[in-house]
Chain A
Amino acid sequence: MILATSFLQGQSFRDVLYIVAFALFIQGLRGLSGPTTAVRGNRIAAVGMTIAVIATLINPLEGNWGLIALGVALGTAVGVPAARQVKMTAMPQMVALFNGVGGGAVFLISWSEFRLTHGYTNTPTYIAIFSLFAAIVGSVSFWGSNIAFGKLQEIIPGRPISFGSAQQIVNLVLLILAVAAGVDIAAGDHSQGIFIGLLVCAALLGNAVVLPIGGADMPVVISLLNAFTGLSAAATGIALDNTALIVAGMIVGASGSILTNLMATAMNRSIPAIVAGGFGGGGVVEGASGAGEHAGTVRSTSAADAAIQLAYANRVMIVPGYGMAVAQAQHAVRELTKELEKRGVEIGYAIHPVAGRMPGHMNVLLAEADVPYDQLEEMDEANQEFSRTDVSLVIGANDVTNPAAKNTPSSPIYGMPILEVSDSHSVIVIKRSMNPGFAGIENELYYEPETQMLFGDAKAAVSEITAELAHI
């Protein structure tokens, strides 16, 4: 009996449970390769997490049960209602926030380790190094994610905020200071002041890196911060000699890196350029001056006219953007396309990789509105379809349709792959006004001859078109 108990509390039993846990994480993520297996995959990963937590708690050295219960209760009280109530449009903020608290946990753990070991005394240097790395990256991720949350929630202005050209020097100095503090501590300085200085520098760096990044680059930033938190968790795992943390953290690091790369490619921007910041700054000025004296004229149309064009089309491509989500118009759009399908119109949805504020965001919003999968077309696929599309209905999408990305080398978005909407026979753009989009760049599409503007709130305008269809 005693033998069994000691086995259950032993290091090797715990390690076996950790192996089971990370195997379940990997198996769970494999499930995410398809929509039908994804729900189960996520639950498998959750089971893995439960096992990992239990394995940790059966540690005989474990104590402070009251405090553990308090922490878990606090976290549950905040996390569960937030996860249950968040709107799908607010998902990027939610992910940024969850990511941030993860980074926060990482740097707090490093700090407590530092204090507990009196500045890593009698601790192998490599443990100090990984713990310090986790402290810096975790702190950057925590503050960066909070700023990203603030920008997405529009508590902080979405436009870049920066020190201008001094920005990169400031960032570099902060990074050097944080790393120097880390080197000093790893070399044997036990002063807590230095450690706090390291955390402060990393915190300022997190703020300084994300504040200058414009709203349009948010999908990249969120992915990057996700990778950061993953890597910092893996470093914590090495510092604490915990395999579950190493594997889970590293997989998240890999996932975040892949997504960051995909998003940056979809915007034709290099990751260093995005992190260096200032995107949209030049564009705002250029767009603003260009707006008044634009050569073309804008044609506006009515809901009734739009309804006629749509009803007699063979193929209609819906081009949704974040504006559609903000107006909560996805259900209205689904109603409209159902009506059109009844009339034999072929429907497609052209989804740009960076439509929305995080990777894949638009697909979630359309899935919520019950749009069938086979109508969701990725950019390359959609671009081949536009030439045989009669009407493209652009709803709240702006920068991802801007031909300036192809035609105007001076444009800040030049070179970004776009949805080539103007290849279709006619284009109807539903938009509230002529104001430029999130990135603050004027859209040339609106001045092209085949384009008609339907001004109004996306949801109201789409519902109006659906109503008009009934009269045809």
Chain B
Amino acid sequence: MILASTLTTNLAILVLAGFIGFVVISKVPNTLHTPLMSGTNAIHGIVLLGGLLVIGLAGNGTFNKVILVIAIAFGTINVVGGFLVTDRMLEMFKSKPKAQAKGAEGKAAEGDSPDAKDKAP
């Protein structure tokens, strides 16, 4: 009974997340689709958590440990690499409105966040 309710709760979360995803992603302009893709790529690197959870469980044999270390390494590449490369790309887009000084939207000031160094683990 408890398990069934866990499943339905998780399915509800799944469905809602899907709708939120559609709404949020639809607002991303074509211009930013490459960073969007590498950014979402970094986010699905969250499977790293799966590796961390399973490797912590008792009863892993040597072979399991090997594949889980590989899984964690893969997940880390995905997360760290993904966020870094997205940051690199977006920096290129960011500098433009200031240099151009067209400032049609007057949003240029918002582009500064000098302190925030990359937080990828």
Contact = CB atoms under 8 A, between A and B. Distances in A.
B76 A79 contact: yes
A101 B72 contact: no
A35 B86 contact: no
A82 to B, nearest CB: 6
A113 interface: yes
Nearest to B98: A36
Interface string B1-40: 0010011001101100111111011111111111111111
A236 B50 contact: yes
Contacts of B19: 254
A383 B83 CA distance: 35
Given A42-B86, A98-B41, A30 B34 contact: no
Interface secondary structure of B, over-half rule: helix
B27 A30 contact: yes
Nearest to A124: B3
A194 interface: no
Chain B, interface size: which category? 35 or more
A431 to B, nearest CB: 25
B46, B77, B92, B105, most chain A CB atoms within 10 A:
B46
Contacts of B25: 29, 251, 254-255, 258
Interface in B65-104: 65, 67-97, 99-100, 102, 104
Nearest to B87: A42
A99 B58 CA distance: 30
Interface string B44-70: 111111111111111111011101111
Nearest to B85: A83
Nearest to A39: B90
Contact of A109 (B30, B35, B45, B47): B47
6 contacts: A29-B25, A91-B85, A94-B38, A105-B47, A111-B67, A360-B34
Contact of B32 (A38, A59, A70, A226): A38
A229 interface: yes
B81 to A, nearest CB: 3
B73 A71 contact: yes
A68 interface: yes
A22, A86, A94, A363, most chain B CB atoms within 10 A:
A363
A49 B77 contact: no
A38 B78 CA distance: 20
Given A39-B91, A43-B87, A45-B43, A237 B26 contact: no
Interface in A340-361: 351, 353, 358-361
Contacts of B58: 61, 63
B116 A104 contact: no
Chain A, interface size: which category? 35 or more
Given A43-B87, A102-B78, A95 B71 contact: no
A294 interface: no
B53 A43 contact: no
A364 B56 CA distance: 41
Given A35-B93, A102-B44, A370-B99, A29 B24 contact: yes
B56 A112 contact: no
A83 B88 contact: yes
B83 A91 contact: no
Interface of B: 3, 6-7, 10-11, 13-14, 17-22, 24-61, 63-65, 67-97, 99-100, 102, 104-105, 107-108, 110-111, 113, 116, 118-121
Contacts of A61: 56-58
Contacts of B26: 258
Given A75-B75, A361-B34, A373 B68 contact: no
A35 B94 contact: yes
B32 A35 contact: yes
A84 B10 contact: no
Given A71-B73, A78-B73, A80-B84, 16 more contacts: A36-B111, A42-B83, A49-B83, A72-B73, A75-B76, A94-B38, A95-B34, A95-B37, A104-B70, A230-B44, A249-B47, A251-B43, A253-B21, A254-B19, A363-B31, A373-B100
Contacts of B3: 124, 126
Contacts of A76: 76, 80
A64 B53 CA distance: 11
B56 A109 contact: no
A124 B120 CA distance: 35
Contacts of B61: 115
A72 B49 CA distance: 11
Nearest to B89: A364
A74 interface: yes
A177 interface: no
A83 B41 contact: no
A39 B88 CA distance: 9
Contacts of A248: 43-44, 46
B59 to A, nearest CB: 6
A251 B75 CA distance: 17
A46 B118 contact: yes
B69 A36 contact: no
B85 to A, nearest CB: 4
Nearest to A74: B73
